[in-house]
A = this chain, B = another copy of it.
Amino acid sequence: MRMADLSAGTGVPVPTIKYYLREGLLSPGRPLGRNQAEYGSAHVKRLKLVRALADYGGLSISAIRELVDHMEDPGTAKTELLSVAQKTVTTHDDERSGEHVRQAERLVADLLARRGWDDTAGHQAARTMVGVLASLLELGLDDILRALDDYADAAETAAGVDLRVLGDVTDRERAVEVVVIGTLLGDTLLAAMRRLAQAHLSVETYRTTG
């Protein structure tokens, strides 16, 4: 399999494949001569992974490189992968301050305590939560904040499914894939389904209540 076939099989243009090779997102093919190399099905799959993470995971090229490096490293444990995938979300290290931020920090701490998630304090996602909640507070959207626990229920349901799916996977390499892809594409998937459910429920509500 040469580069043209790789391109045809994935829909990724040849110059882009070359770019990915340069950036280390894709390992070089097995060289056959001075300017000829052989690619296999692993390359096809990797390319599809890269595109999926870029298109639906919203990851940058450098984030994808980091991720695939970890995926290839056999020293990365299953649990560790979870945290690596989790850290590869858009990080917000702005470190704002102010009354609202302190209030948001308290809300998050309370929520974590209430749900028994206290082992996750200091987690990157907790900091993202603080940022989002601080924005909601600044914008005066207390309505949403009052429903925080209900949203946490939904998140916990999703996480429960995540873990159950992961538990069924025994093969290490596949577990790595499931964690990374499931977490990142799962965000997009859940958001899309939330919108569909919203649309459906909203139509239903306005039909029955006028």
Q: Taking beta carbons and an 8 Å cutoff, which residues of A are in contact with B?
A: 11, 45, 48-49, 51-52, 55-56, 58, 79, 82-83, 86, 89-90, 92, 94, 96, 112, 115-117, 119-120, 123-126, 128-129, 131-133, 135-136, 138-141, 143-144, 146-147, 150-165, 167-169, 174, 177-178, 181-183, 185-203, 205-206
Contact = CB atoms under 8 A, between A and B. Distances in A.
A191 B89 contact: yes
A178 B139 CA distance: 10
Contact of A120 (B174, B182, B190, B196): B196
B167 A147 contact: no
A208 to B, nearest CB: 12
Contacts of A128: 56, 188, 192
Contacts of A153: 157
A167 B199 contact: no
A143 B185 contact: no
